Every structure is written in structure tokens, then in C-alpha cells.
Amino acid sequence: MLPEKITSLQNPRIKQLVKLRERRERDDAGLFLIEGYREVRRALEKNIRIGELYFCPEWFLGENEPALIEQAIQAGAQLYELSKEAFAKCAYRDRPDGLLAVAPQWKLGLGEVALSAQPFVLVVESIEKPGNLGTILRSADAAGVDAVIVCDAVTDVFNPNVVRSSTGVLFSVPIVLADSATVHAWLREKSIRIVATTPDAQLLYSQADLRGPLSIVMGSEQYGLSEFWLKESNALVRIPMAGQADSLNVAMATIITLFEAVRQRNG
Amino acid sequence: MLPEKITSLQNPRIKQLVKLRERRERDDAGLFLIEGYREVRRALEKNIRIGELYFCPEWFLGENEPALIEQAIQAGAQLYELSKEAFAKCAYRDRPDGLLAVAPQWKLGLGEVALSAQPFVLVVESIEKPGNLGTILRSADAAGVDAVIVCDAVTDVFNPNVVRSSTGVLFSVPIVLADSATVHAWLREKSIRIVATTPDAQLLYSQADLRGPLSIVMGSEQYGLSEFWLKESNALVRIPMAGQADSLNVAMATIITLFEAVRQRNG
């Protein structure tokens, strides 16, 4: 069966794709965009249920796109071929590569997190920049956490820039959205120690015991840790800094802290 | 004395500013661009000799710009006021903030590096992405290295995106450009141990001794470490990875390795 061809920029599907760049539209529709060959491939690898796949051969960069499209069809995706101009209008990227998918968002509850024998969880508070959130997800994946818990989310995890900067980790690392009080109660209930980072702490992050059931809490870019977590954590730690005060951003600080925990836990 | 006003998009200074976005033009002229309030402020703080400062009040975002301009004049900068349109043409950023400086490039030789009692040096090979190089410079600053040595540079350190993503660290961390063979000979001569990271190493980065005179060598994004450094290093180490293979990029791996060295050296 040949895919439907869309050339009109006024086509309602084109309009919907453009709208899905906006958080409100994504949340209302319960959908999000997956743009790009690598991202679509990873989504399929991780069994993300792609509802619609839009493609435009004139934008393809390689030769593997038809095989990937075939794979998406097998997995149940509806296929739409776009004209070059129509694809350019929908594409989020400056240099599109001719593939754009729409998939349903998902929600994971705290109760659904599969904790390992020695729970290891990353909690991030109100991260603002999609690029930072994506990098944080990648570092959490590399460190092997059980889950990333996003408290009081400012940036939507289904933002196209998170999808992209997470290099597909969004599709595999368990991510829970919740408010701080609920997360705190859950951590206590599970007897998971709470170690939070703040530049004002006395203790160095590497002097804290990061073995056993552990959650690491990171504050937002602009405001750092909230009063709530400053008060409700078991330990506050800081990363020693040479050089200028803002050389480490929250994503870099997260990487450093997570991998110190990995080091201690493997040792 | 009132600054010269430029409104014509054909003005040769406007054309030169646009040209300086290109590496060849920068290298030929021995100049580079510093765009943005924060960047210009940091350049002045670090005594970068700004030759020309272009400004456009219609693009200013705050109220501190006149004081900064005054500071630049005191430091010897020539001042040019641009029309809104002319500034938009010169600006590299999508949302300019009305300040754009031109400063001379500098070159630091290996012989000019001020090594500390326990030398600590970062060597990066052929990094391609300006954003990665900027993040690497920030992490090197935060870790307090004596110098960053860029071997066989692919990305120009004076690229506007390096200036920006380094958040001014470019102006303070000593950076040397050299070829790998020269750097290797210099490290040997100074009795500085060479520890290089590669995913194929047996030894974990945290099991290596990173105290004493140390250089950490990181490979490029696409190709990793070259044969040269694989062969000529004292130790090869790897970072343990859970999750998908490419979750850690070179900038993230650099942060992890540098801060493990800091931990060991402070402990």
C-alpha cells in the first residue's frame, strides 16, 4: 500500500506537526515528536510505539532510510510522504534529514520504578534548559541509575531538544515526574539515603558515603537546590572548584557526582 | 569624543566583522570576535586587549552596558556605534545583545606554560565540535589544570561558539596549540606521566594512579584516540559504562576523568 502524499502546507497533519513543538499542544494531545534518523531508529529499538511516520526522500542523508521506514511499518506506524517544502515546514531542525515521527507520551509512577537491590536514583529539580536535561539523562544512563526523577518539572521531558540531546536515552531510562514532597516521602519509605549537592556544603562529594541505597539530588540552573531539599536531605555535599565560579553547570556537576557514586559502589 | 556611527551595511568594518566568523579570515587577520555582554565583560576582566568595540543601544538587554563600554574605552578600545540593522548583520547570535568586540588572537608556546609543582595538564586531540571544546575548557578550569593542550586542532579555539560555550574560560585557562609529537616530547622532557582514555582499555580510570605530574589525553569525538597516543601513553584507562554505548561524549568523559584526578590529588 502506498503512503498518503502530502504537499499542501495547509494540510491539517502539517499544522498538527508544527503545533506539537509547543508544550501545551503536546500535553493536550498526549503526543510528542521524534525527529531524525538516529532518534527514530532508537525509538524503534526501544519499542516506542510510533503512531505516524512522516518522510521525505529529498531530505534523506544516507541510504538506510527505506529499511528504517520498513521497520516502522512493521511496528504499526502510519506512513505519510511529504513534499520537500512540506517537510521543511514541519521539521524542527535547521537541517532536516527527512524523518519525523509522532509517538504517544508515557507516564511512569514512582510505584512503577523497578529498584535494584541497592537502589540508585537521580533526582533533579526544576531543570530549565532542554540541553542540560538531555545531558543529565545521558549521564544517568551511563551511570546505570534505576530511574531519573524530575521534580517540579520546568522543562518538559518530551521537548524536541530533550529528545535530541538525550540521544535516545529518553526512550530507555525510566523517568518519573513528581512533586518534591511526594518524592521525598517515597525515598523515606524505601529507606533511600538522600545526598544533595550545593556549593555551600561543607562536605566534599567525594568524602560522602555514596554506597548503599542512594538518591542524588541536583538543583536547578538558576536557583540551585530549593529550601525543601536543603532541609530534607541526609547529607549536603559540594564539588571543589578551581577557576571561575560558574565553570561547572548543573549537567557537569551531575556527571561528576554520579560517577563518584559509581566509583564507590563498584569499589 | 563621540564614537563613529555606522549605518551602511556596505561599510568595510561591517564586512570585516562578518568575515571574522570564518576561520581563514580570523587566522589571516590574527583577530577574533567576542560577542555579548557577559563575554566582553569577562574579556576585560582578564585583560584581553579589545581593539574595537561595536555597540548598538537598541539591542541592549540591561542597563549596565554603558558602564562596560566606558571600561572598554579606558582599556584602549576604539568605539563604533552601529544602527540596529547593521548590528544585526554583524551579530553571530540569533538574539544579539548589542555588544561585539574584536580582539587580537594570542599564541602560547609549550615553553611558556607555567607548570605547578605537581604538573596537571589536559591534552585533547582533534576535537571537532566547538560546544564540546568550550565545555572541556570549562571543566579544565574547574579542575584547576595548569594548561589545556590542543593537539592537531580541528576546531579553532577562537571560533565564536568556543568563545561563547567556554563562558570566558578561553580568556583565562592557558591554551597551547601543538602537534602530537611535539607535545609528547615535551611531556617526556618534563617527566609528566601520560594517561589516555579509550573505551578498549582494561584499567578503570579510577584504578589508575592520577597523582603526581600528570597529563590526561582525550581523543576526538569521531575517531577516539589516535594510534600515536594509544602507543605513546604510560597508561590507558576507560570509564565504566552502563546503558547505551554513546551516552558519554568526549566532554563528559573529560569531566569525569579530570575530577577523579582532582579527587586523588586532593586526597
pLDDT single digits (tens) B5-19: 999 999 999 999 999
Q: pLDDT of B189-233, one tens digit each?
A: 999 999 999 999 999 999 999 999 999 999 998 899 999 999 999
Helices A250-266 and A130-143 cross at an angle (nearest 10°) of: 10
* pLDDT of A1: 62
* pLDDT of A90: 93
CATH number for the domain formed by residue range(s) B4-104: 3.30.1330.30
Q: pLDDT of B51-90, one tens digit each?
A: 999 999 999 999 999 999 999 999 999 999 999 999 999 9
Report yes or no: B98 and B42 within 8 Å, Cβ to Cβ: no
Q: Pseudo-torsion of CA A66, A72, A76, A77, nearest 10°?
A: -80
Burial of A29 per CB tally in 10 Å (0-12, 13-18, 19+)? middle
Q: pLDDT of A5-37, one tens digit each?
A: 999 999 999 999 999 999 999 999 999 999 999
Chain A residues whose beta carbon lies within 8 Å of the beta carbon of residue B168: 244
Domain ranges, ordered by start, for chain A: 4-104, 110-266
Cβ-Cβ contacts under 8 Å for A219 (sequence gap 6 or more) = A125, A126, A196, A197, A198, A225, A226, A229, A250
B250 versus A154: which is more confidently predicted? B250
Average pLDDT over residues B143-151: 97
Q: Which residues pair with A8 in a beta bridge?
A: none
Interchain CB contact of B135 with A (< 8 Å): yes
Question: What ipTM was reported for this prediction?
Answer: 0.93
At A30, list the grid cell: 498526549
* pLDDT of A246: 86
The Cα–Cα gap between B164 and A223 comes to 22
* pLDDT of B136: 97
Give me chain A's average pLDDT, please.
95
A45 pLDDT more than 70: yes
Average pLDDT over residues A44-56: 96
Size of interface A-B (CB pairs under 8 A): 91
Interchain CB contact of B67 with A (< 8 Å): no
Residue type, A106: W
**Which residue of A116, A197, A263 to mutate against B (max B Cβ within 10 Å)?**
A263
B244/A167 Cβ within 8 A:
yes
Report yes or no: B37 and B71 within 8 Å, Cβ to Cβ: no
B125 pLDDT more than 80: yes
Give me chain B's average pLDDT, please.
95
How many angstroms away from the CA of B262 is the closest CA of chain A? 9
* From A144, A204, A242, residue closest to B141, measured CB to CB: A242
**Chain position carrying cell 540552573:** A221
> For the whole model, what pTM was predicted?
0.93
Q: Number of H helices and number of E strands within chain B? A: 10, 12
Q: pLDDT of A174-209, one tens digit each?
A: 999 999 999 999 999 999 999 999 999 999 999 999
Chain B residues whose beta carbon lies within 8 Å of the beta carbon of residue A141: 242-244, 247
B247 pLDDT more than 90: no
At the fourth CATH level, which superfamily is domain B110-266? SPOUT methyltransferase, trefoil knot domain (3.40.1280.10)
